[in-house]
Amino acid sequence: MLPRILITPGEPAGIGPDLTCLLAQSAPVPAQLVAVCDAALLRARADQLGVTLALRDFDPSAPRQATPAGSIEVLPVPLRAAAQAGRLNPANAAYVLETLDRAVDLCLCGDADALVTGPVQKSVINESDVAAAGRFSGHTEYLAERCGTGAPVMMLVAPTTPPLRVALATTHLPLRAVADAITAPRLDTVLRTLVADLRRRFGIEAPRVLVCGLNPHAGESGHLGREEIDVIAPVLDRLRGEGLRLTGPLPADTLFTPALLGEADAVLAMYHDQGLPVLKHAGFGQAVNVTLGLPIVRTSVDHGTALDLAGSGRADPGSLRAALALAADLAHGR
């Protein structure tokens, strides 16, 4: 079946609307593309960019048809306030979350096959009135809560040969909170989710995972920290006993070398800036963020809102195009 893929452009003042307009120009994959956003926002941004874009109303009951180049269907969600490229407005935080809610609901009920998300501005959401409902730490955690799952795993994929896949044991935490967050139950859950979705989503029958240590030199036998000895190694030993193919804990400064990566299907880094700088160096602008552990397919761009580029015509849709292509593959079970 032709995949129906939803796109949420994210922060309306950022480059998400630009990328959505530019992506629609080429119709890069055979799929029905539906933007979940304010149609007037896309129209205004297309005009600002000098892009011709045909907007069509989305009808979930209509037969699926591949979206032709130069057009996109729209599931309308109204802005709360006028949006201006490059200027954040906390009044639109609720709009951003509503686009995610509407898209997730369509995926959960089977009316859509995948969700591709543009970048959001976490700070402006947390500074808005919607923050009273709880701190917004990112797409990954928000979508997991919306889907009713408690163990999402953030993984980025770079288009190297072989593909570099880096998952995270912790996501958007202050560095001083990372060590306390790496507990045996959390690590056990993250590794099980990672391995399960490498099998289920990526078709890798027996995934091989390299696991980073937390400390320099993976703790150097306890002289530079005991997390490897007390937490990480015991979890790996137990899971290896169940048949999971896990190597580590390894020093992160030597793990990301061709010899080791060539024998692995994924890497588990302990925290955000341990693994993602390497991945983004390898494929920034073409890498894709994938949320594992969800009942839906969700991919995203590998970058932020780039407010300085919004409306300028200089934004590169490469990562959004890659996210769309991977979402189509995962929706097809490829």
The confidence band for 134, taking pLDDT boundaries of 50, 70 and 90, is low
Encode pLDDT of 170-179 as tens digits: 988 899 999 9
Residue type, 323: A
Q: Is 140 annotated as a binding residue?
A: yes
CA distances from 236 to 186, 187, 286 (A): 12, 9, 32
Does 126 appear as a known binding residue? no
Mean pLDDT of 100-113: 96
Residues 6+ apart with CB under 8 A from 181: 169, 170, 173
Q: What are the pLDDT digits (tens) for 308-325?
A: 999 999 999 999 999 999
Query: Per-residue pLDDT averaged across 287-292, rounded?
Result: 96
What integer best gives the mean pLDDT of the chain? 94
At 236, list the tokens.
């790996």
pTM to 2 decimal places: 0.93
Q: What percent of the chain has pLDDT above 90?
A: 86
Closest CA to 169 of 279, 238, 271, 292: 271
Label residue 131 by pLDDT band (50, 70, 90).
low
**Residue 139 marked in a binding site:** yes
Nearest one of 280, 146, 153 to 207, comparing CA atoms: 153
Residue 165, beta-bridge partner list: 157
CA 213, CA 268: separation in Å to the nearest integer?
Answer: 9
Residues paired with residue 269 on neighbouring β-strands, in sequence order: 168
Check pLDDT > 60 for residue 133. Answer: no
pLDDT > 80? residue 101: yes
Portion of the chain with pLDDT greater than 70, in percent: 98
Look at residue 106 in the predicted model and tell me its pLDDT. 96
Judged on CB neighbours under 10 Å (0-12, 13-18, 19+), 156 is buried
CA-to-CA distance for 36 and 44, rounded, in angstroms?
A: 16
Q: Name residue 128's amino acid.
A: S
Give the separation between CA 271 and CA 261, rounded to whole angstroms: 18
Residues linked to residue 209 through DSSP beta bridges, in sequence order: 246, 266
Asked if residue 151 has pLDDT above 80, the reply is yes
3-state secondary structure (DSSP) of residue 311: coil
Q: Which residues of 306-332 are buried (b: 16+ CB within 10 A; e: fewer)?
A: bbebbbeeebbbbbbbbbbbbbbbbbe
Position 274 pLDDT exceeds 60: yes
Q: Per-residue confidence at 250, pLDDT binned at 50, 70, 90?
A: very high
SS3 at position 56: strand
- Asked if 10 and 305 touch (Cβ cutoff 8 Å), the reply is yes
How much is the average pLDDT of 186-202?
97
Domains of the chain in start order, with CATH, are 1-149+296-333 (3.40.718.10), 151-293 (3.40.718.10)
Is 298 annotated to bind ligand?
yes
pLDDT tens, position by position, 23-47 = 999 867 889 999 999 999 999 999 9
Residue whose tokens read 């304010």: 38
pLDDT computed for residue 276 by the predictor: 95
289 known ligand binder: yes
Residue 272 in marked binding region: yes
Mean of the pLDDT values across residues 62-85?
96
Q: Would you state the pLDDT for residue 108?
A: 96
What's residue 138's pLDDT? Answer: 82
Q: Does the pLDDT at position 109 exceed 60? A: yes
Classify burial at 30, counting beta carbons within 10 Å of its beta carbon; exposed 0-12, middle 13-18, buried 19 or more. Answer: exposed
Distance CA 280, CA 271 (A): 15
